[in-house]
Amino acid sequence: MSTNLPVYLSKAVQVDVMNSEAVTYSEFSNALSNPVLLGIVNFSPLPGNVIMELAANLGFSMVDRMLGGPGKPLEKNRDFSEIELLIIDRIMTVCVNLLREPWKNVVDLNPRLERIETNSQFAQIISPTEMIAIVTINLKIGDVEGLMNVCLPYITLEDVMEKLNTKYWFSSMQESDDEDYSEVLETLVNRVKVPIKAILGNSSINVNDFINLQVGDIIRLNTKVDDELDIYVGNIQKFTALPGASGDSYAVRVTSVIREE
């Protein structure tokens, strides 16, 4: 079940980071309502736990979708059943495992979902006066929209705080092997496909002539046979060329390169 889970959900999920701020844990916990979905995550090797809060309407929507429904939330909130919590546990485990990739430049994480709490009173992982960082993410699953809050306690981030800034990231990039990076970048660029078109010429005809066009009709263009053609890469004119053939295919021979000043 967990293998097919991310593929199934990804077809209808949109994710946007809305906000990040620093508050005390009491401000975060007092704003929680019941029932609530709180995933308590062991952030090994960093100390302490991280909390992932998922809006209840999203939880019910995911359960409905995973059980073959259209993915609609309940009209009135209620407590989650044990079966529903088991399904949500699988979903949040997938989300937790996805944390490894974005954190790999800071620390080699081995996060693990320890449990899910539906009552905020049982999620007092740190002192109410401790500072935390909250990253608010807007999730849209089909037509259902809600928020996910990732709560990062200061005690968890303290050991790697100096690595969580742009200066560190820039210095890390400079220390990497520039030659290997250039080769990888060149390989990726070489695989990019760009649209190229050759304009044979232009002509203006009235609508009546256009709708009565038949196979074999001739349209007079504003260019001559030996005129150079304009070659566009995307919507930018980059070359001039002469028309011709290559084997059984039409082709153009580039005669000049148009360079921007």
In a domain, 226, yes or no: yes
Distance CA 44, CA 250 (A): 61
In a domain, 190, yes or no: no
Residues 219-239, mean pLDDT to the nearest whole number: 87
Check if the beta carbon of residue 133 is closer than 8 Å to that of residue 20: yes
Q: Which of 119, 155, 146 is nearest to 59 (CA)?
A: 146
Q: 129 and 27 in one domain?
A: yes
Count Cβ atoms below 10 Å from residue 73 Cβ, excluding itself: 21
Domain containing 129: what range? 5-179
Q: 122 and 18 in one domain?
A: yes
In a domain, 167, yes or no: yes
Q: 78 and 25 in one domain?
A: yes
Q: 30 and 108 in one domain?
A: yes
Q: How many CA atoms lie within 13 A of 34 on its CB side?
A: 9
In a domain, 17, yes or no: yes
In a domain, 101, yes or no: yes
In a domain, 94, yes or no: yes
Q: Quote the pLDDT of residue 88.
A: 92
Q: 45 and 151 in one domain?
A: yes
Please tell me the total number of residues recorded for the chain in this structure. Answer: 261
- pLDDT tens for 39-60 read 999 998 999 899 999 988 888 8
Q: Pick the last residue of a domain from 116, 145, 179.
A: 179
Looking at the chain, which runs of residues are DSSP E strands?
13-24, 37-42, 49-54, 112-117, 131-141, 144-153, 196-199, 229-233, 236-246, 249-257
Q: 78 and 33 in one domain?
A: yes
- At 195, the amino acid letter reads P
Q: 149 and 36 in one domain?
A: yes
Helix (H, G, I), strand (E, B) or coil at 32: coil
pTM of this structure: 0.57
Q: 132 and 84 in one domain?
A: yes
Of the candidate ranges 103-117, 151-165, 195-209, the one whose mean pLDDT is the lowest = 151-165
Tell me the C-alpha to C-alpha distance, in Å, between residue 134 and each of 47, 50, 148, 222.
17, 10, 10, 63
Q: Which of 158, 153, 159, 161 is nearest to 49 (CA)?
A: 153
Whether 1 has a pLDDT exceeding 60, the answer reads no
In a domain, 9, yes or no: yes
Q: Pick the last residue of a domain from 179, 208, 223.
A: 179
Q: 65 and 114 in one domain?
A: yes
Query: For residue 114, what is the domain's CATH number?
Result: 3.40.1550.10
Tell me the C-alpha to C-alpha distance, in Å, between residue 100 and each of 8, 45, 134, 220.
21, 12, 18, 62
Work out how many domains the chain is built from and give that number: 2
Q: 102 and 68 in one domain?
A: yes
Q: 172 and 237 in one domain?
A: no
Q: 145 and 24 in one domain?
A: yes
Percent of the chain with pLDDT over 70: 88
Check if the beta carbon of residue 151 is closer than 8 Å to that of residue 50: yes
Query: For residue 229, what is the domain's CATH number?
Result: 2.30.330.10
Distance CA 185, CA 182 (A): 5
In a domain, 191, yes or no: no
Q: Pick the last residue of a domain from 147, 179, 211.
A: 179
- List the helix and strand counts (H, then E) for the chain: 9, 10
